[in-house]
Structure 1
Amino acid sequence: MSAPSLLSARISGLHVEVVGSGPPLLVAHGGPGMSHDVYRSLDPLADRRKLVLWDHRGHGRSAALPDGPVDMEQFADDVVTVADGLGLERFALFGHSFGGWVALEAALRHPDRVSALVLAGTTPGQLGAGESPDDDQGPPPPAAVAALFGDLPSTDAGLVEMYRALAPYFLRVADPALLRDAIDPALVSADSCRRVFEALGRWSAVDRLGKIGCPTLLLAGRYDVFCSVQQHERIARRLADPDVVVVDEAGHFQWLDRPEMLDLVDGWLSARGW
């Protein structure tokens, strides 16, 4: 059960919740078109930290996306908007899945603000220089998963149905109800989901990863059918200070399958003075 928020705020149109106190850890959520609600499962990290969660622009309780194309840079700048609104000069940043793309871009655009990165279940984007589609980037997703993602729903109800159908594939051993029950149909946007995936199709951090100087922890679920171990290794090969942990018996949401991973994250941050 999630702890009550110490603060619920509106910052430049973004819905923000703060739990706990201590060194700040900002959480960029995944799930294009969804709210951050399932990420309240990270609340145990608030025992010793100020955990800051928000709904990305166009998601959940936050303001709508602006007209026209959107890009990762906009979502990344919102990370700093949240930090500024809370008076946080430097912070650690946790990014999962889509939130990992946001976190990578934020670390690239605002290196003076991000003290440490935790990336879980994510990828570095499209192919970079010297990379080929034939390179080992991990197995393709199961046919059932590819079919569900092949034609994104055009309605909010359809997106709810898609994410609920995907729940068993996101996890290895945890109960899929943990994800299904966290989906509030009133906080879902099929339009935002589509626009995020369009932005991802134009985005890559691969050739810029060497510019990220902060320590980075990468959590890869051994059975993640969305973001393979190899994708995490693609990121690590180009980073200055990476640590890669391959989590056995875990899928896309490593800490739901293996709750002890939150202790690992906490210990890793503490060991780096954060």
Structure 2
Amino acid sequence: MYFKTSDGLRIYFEVSGTGKIPCLYLHGGPGYWSKSFQHFMSGPLGDKFQMIYLDQRGCGRSEHSEEESYSLNRLINDLEELRNHLGIEEWLIIGHSFGGILAVNYAVQFPNTVTGMILANATLNMFASFTQQMQAGSEILGLEWTDINTASLPEFMEAYYGILSKLIEQEAYFKLQFVDIDKKKEMDAIDREGLDSDPAFQRFVFSSAEYFQDFTLLSKEIDKPVLVISGKDDYAVGSAHYQSFKFREMDVQMLNSGHHPYVENPGAFQKVILDFAENKMK
């Protein structure tokens, strides 16, 4: 299904599940889509939640913005416009990876619409997470690591792309995200079914200082219950990244997985979410 935003863009979403708790899923990337999460989790979570799967503007099945209108506030407004479109008063938000930035900013801007948050392998500081990727990537490549200056975003991203390209050349990039290469192949098969994100979306995010702010500072403003899920072998965000979060009410669950626990450890992922909903969403 699609809804049209206030600036005229058609955004793709799906609603499924028989549960009574509305729950919005925000995918990562930046520039990925919601289909793989829906594929693995719609059944397990559907009894407890009314799941809303959204492809962010410019991502997946949603329309691309010719004007490259991909600012943080525009993406946040899309979420609020979707909530109004669906007639939902309050919802739980799950943010994976880059989706954590959207979840936290939305919760700060619209606190009365959020009942709680689940942050799964989520980054709230892309400088920190990208540094983690470069450190882990340098170790994989056998390169000596030296600290990268974060004062200049272009210089920082040049260094990042340099290590990233070497990992891709050696077919080793997957090691930052997956423990089990077969699970990556499962996700790749789903992505071949129609993933068509706008390359300009990721370029915009990776060149915009607004997305590279330290959003852990916003976390202390959120007084709703928060479940943080981290994969112990996640080298894309960092298994200890959550230690910089400052939520007032936070439960942390460390799972045996890489960056995608809903694929690599779906049983444990499902259980900690349902336990959280049972104990905190009353």
| TM-score (structure 2 length as normaliser) | 0.78
Q: Could you tell me how far apart the structure 2 residues matched to 1:122 and 1:219 are?
A: 8
Q: For 1:187, which of 196, 200, 203 is the aligned residue?
A: 196
- 1:67-104 superposed Cα distances (whole Å, 9 cap, x missing partner): 25633222222222111111101000000011111111
Number of aligned residues = 250
Residue identity opposite 1:192 in structure 2: F
Question: Are 2:257 and 1:233 equivalent residues in the alignment?
Answer: no
Counterpart residue number, 1:42: 41
Q: For 2:225, which of 212, 215, 231 is the aligned residue?
A: 215
Query: The residue matched to 1:262 in structure 2 has which SS?
Result: helix
Q: CA deviation at 1:52?
A: 0.2
Question: Are 2:281 and 1:273 equivalent residues in the alignment?
Answer: yes
Residue identity opposite 1:224 in structure 2: D
Check the 8 A contact 2:231/2:261 in 1, yes or no: yes
Unaligned segments of structure 1, at least 5 residues: 1-7, 128-132
Q: For 1:253, which of 233, 254, 260 is the aligned residue?
A: 260
- 1:236-261 superposed Cα distances (whole Å, 9 cap, x missing partner): xx1110111111x2100112111121
Q: What are the residue-to-residue correspondences of 1:91-240 with 2, within 5 Å? A: 91-125=91-125, 140-143=135-138, 150=161, 166-167=173-174, 169-173=176-180, 175-184=183-192, 187-199=196-208, 201-235=211-245, 238-240=246-248
Residue identity opposite 1:259 in structure 2: P
Check the 8 A contact 1:92/1:114 in 2, yes or no: yes
Q: CA deviation at 1:268?
A: 0.6
Q: CA deviation at 1:137?
A: 7.2
> Over aligned residues, Cα RMSD in angstroms?
3.1
Counterpart residue number, 1:27: 25
Q: 1:141 to 1:186 in 2, by over 3 A?
A: same
Q: Could you tell me how far apart the structure 2 residues matched to 1:202 and 1:264 are?
A: 29
Q: 1:226 to 1:138 in 2, by over 3 A?
A: closer
Check the 8 A contact 2:253/2:272 in 1, yes or no: no
Answer with 70-79 or 165-174: which moved more: 165-174
Q: Could you tell me how far apart the structure 2 residues matched to 1:68 and 1:259 are?
A: 35
Q: CA deviation at 1:218?
A: 0.4
Identity, in percent, stands at: 20
Residue identity opposite 2:31 in structure 1: G
Q: Could you tell me how far apart the structure 1 residues matched to 2:270 and 2:60 are?
A: 25
Q: 1:270 to 1:139 in 2, by over 3 A?
A: farther
Q: CA deviation at 1:187?
A: 1.1
Answer with 89-98 or 262-271: which moved more: 262-271
Q: 1:85 to 1:233 in 2, by over 3 A?
A: same
Check the 8 A contact 1:138/1:230 in 2, yes or no: no
Bigger helix share: 2
Counterpart residue number, 1:3: none
| TM-score (structure 1 length as normaliser) | 0.80
